[in-house]
């Protein structure tokens, strides 16, 4: 690994770290030398991930509900108590339930926006004093989606939330440009995660299609014809977290095999 990608002495906080993209990001940051707070709601997957990493590299913090300001404050206190102020924030926690627009209830709409958009706002605002104190080298990296760059049917709340995350990324990047804190988003396409695997199961149940047919439905718009791997997203996050990326800010980087192009 390039020395410019090493993160020794840096404290990274990753929300939604228990599985999928969040877990892959946490592993990549820890292997680059960062001390990583694994934040999430459930204790079991966080502990299992921590057990895979060096004991000194991982601090699992469960009960970290991004929709609850008190839970965020309590989790952040636990994170700082072990690894000190946060240098790198990765906002990854999110949900993507499916429903037609007509069948999406106001409760479902509010819940998705609360987790996927307001959660990014709340966690970032709580961590921001640490990041501004760090200055150059501090990072905010939001895990958005290609759904923030284009539209998809049957996930209107998710699409709206992820468009909001990209807008927030760009606005905050401008506000913080002179502080040395960079703010970027990564926008994965359909990625091989438990969430997408559940989507495949839903397609199979509702349509009677086979697993291969359901998988082809999700990958038909990807010119490479495959799911993105979580480690590919993690590699992009690792670069954005590195010293080499100090001039990158306000960007939304598509990791989607050419499915969409970020402008």
Question: Which are the catalytic amino acids?
Answer: 158
- CA–CA dist 217, 88 (Å, integer): 36
* Secondary structure string (H, E, C) spanning the chain: CCHHHCCCCCEEEEECCCCHHHHHHHHHHHHCCCEEEEECCCHHHHHHHHHHCCCCCEEEECCCCCCCHHHHHHHHHHHHHHHCCCCEEEECCCCCCCECHHHCCHHHHHHHHHHHHHHHHHHHHHHHHHHHHHCCCCEEEEECCHHHCCCCCCEHHHHHHHHHHHHHHHHHHHHHHHHCCEEEEEEECCECCHHHHHHHHHHHHHHCCCHHHHHHHHHCCCCCCCCECHHHHHHHHHHHHCHHHCCCCCCEEEECCCCCCCC
Pairing of strands 139-143, 182-188: parallel
């Amino acid at each position: 690994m390039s020395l410019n990608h090493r993160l020794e002495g840096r404290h990274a906080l990753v929300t939604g770290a228990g599985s999928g993209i969040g877990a892959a990001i946490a592993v990549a940051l820890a292997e680059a030398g960062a001390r990583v707070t694994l934040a999430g709601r459930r204790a079991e997957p966080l502990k299992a991930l921590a057990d895979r990493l060096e004991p000194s590299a991982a601090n699992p913090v469960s009960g970290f509900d991004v929709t609850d300001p008190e839970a965020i404050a309590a989790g952040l206190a636990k994170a700082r108590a072990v690894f000190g102020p946060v240098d790198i924030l990765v906002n990854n926690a999110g949900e993507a339930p499916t429903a037609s627009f007509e069948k999406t209830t106001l409760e479902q709409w509010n819940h998705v926006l609360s987790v996927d958009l307001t959660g990014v706002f709340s966690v970032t605002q709580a961590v921001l004093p640490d990041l501004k104190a760090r200055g150059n080298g501090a990072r905010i990296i939001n895990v958005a989606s290609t759904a923030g760059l284009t539209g998809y049917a049957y996930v209107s709340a998710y699409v709206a939330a992820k468009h909001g995350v990209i807008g927030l990324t760009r606005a905050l990047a401008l506000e913080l440009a002179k502080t040395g804190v960079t703010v970027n988003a990564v926008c994965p396409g359909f990625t091989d995660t438990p969430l997408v695997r559940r989507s495949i199961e839903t397609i199979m149940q509702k349509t009677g299609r086979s697993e291969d047919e359901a998988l082809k439905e999700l990958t038909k718009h990807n010119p490479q014809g495959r799911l993105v791997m979580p480690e590919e997203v993690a590699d992009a996050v690792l670069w954005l977290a590195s010293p080499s990326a100090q001039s990158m800010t306000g960007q939304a980087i598509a990791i989607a095999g050419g499915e969409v192009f970020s402008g």
